[in-house]
């Protein structure tokens, strides 16, 4: 009975790992959708263009979601390794720990860089719009501070 339960747990964990790996593609889809939507908004005339200032905040939320998912994936893999170790099975988790990987974490690096570049672009658009509309520094400086804080959090959550 306990062996069957352990096997079911192992299979469920592998399924969870696979689902989290597949969800990485969904994150890129969400990111590209946000870029497209906010890119369209940023070229509009009038006050609606200021909506582009929300992009860094939403990108920061996406980064936080990714950090949580990657941490959960890391935990699943550690647990799978412990299961393999406890039964004396030398499987994939053992194999991957023995292989040097120069691109380890490349997914997070690429996503972090893409998010930061687009956040910086959105900040530049908002600052350019604020400057061209001659908005006072009492509004411009806090807006810049908020956007930079979102960029910092994005970097922090997606760093190695």
Residue ranges making up the domain that contains 40: 2-158
Token pair for residue 134?
């001659």
Token pair for residue 6?
């352990």
**Could you report the per-residue pLDDT of 135-160, keeping only the tens digit for each?**
888 999 999 999 999 999 999 999 87
Residue corresponding to tokens 């990485």 = 24
DSSP 8-state symbol, 99? S
pTM here is: 0.85
**Dihedral through CA 95, CA 99, CA 102, CA 103, nearest 10?**
-10
**Could you report the per-residue pLDDT of 44-68, keeping only the tens digit for each?**
888 888 899 999 999 999 999 999 9
> For residues 159 and 157, what is the distance between their CA atoms, to the nearest angstrom?
6
> For residues 145 and 56, what is the distance between their CA atoms, to the nearest angstrom?
12
**Could you report the per-residue pLDDT of 93-131, keeping only the tens digit for each?**
777 777 776 666 788 999 999 999 999 999 999 999 999
Count of domains forming the chain: 1
């Amino acid at each position: 009975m306990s062996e069957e339960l352990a096997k079911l747990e192992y299979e469920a964990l592998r399924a969870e790992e696979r689902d989290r790996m597949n969800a990485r593609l969904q994150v890129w889809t969400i990111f590209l959708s946000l870029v497209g939507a906010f890119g369209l908004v940023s070229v509009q005339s009038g006050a609606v263009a200021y909506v582009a200032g929300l992009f860094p905040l939403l990108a920061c939320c996406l980064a936080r979601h990714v950090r949580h998912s990657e941490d959960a994936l890391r935990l699943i893999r550690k647990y799978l390794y412990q299961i393999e170790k406890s039964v004396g099975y030398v499987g994939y988790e053992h194999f991957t720990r023995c292989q040097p990987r120069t691109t380890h974490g490349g997914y997070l690096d690429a996503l972090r860089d893409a998010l930061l570049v687009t956040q910086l672009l959105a900040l530049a658009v908002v600052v350019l719009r604020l400057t061209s509309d001659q908005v006072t520094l009492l509004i411009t400086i806090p807006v810049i501070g908020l956007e930079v804080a979102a960029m910092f959090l994005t970097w922090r959550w997606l760093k190695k």
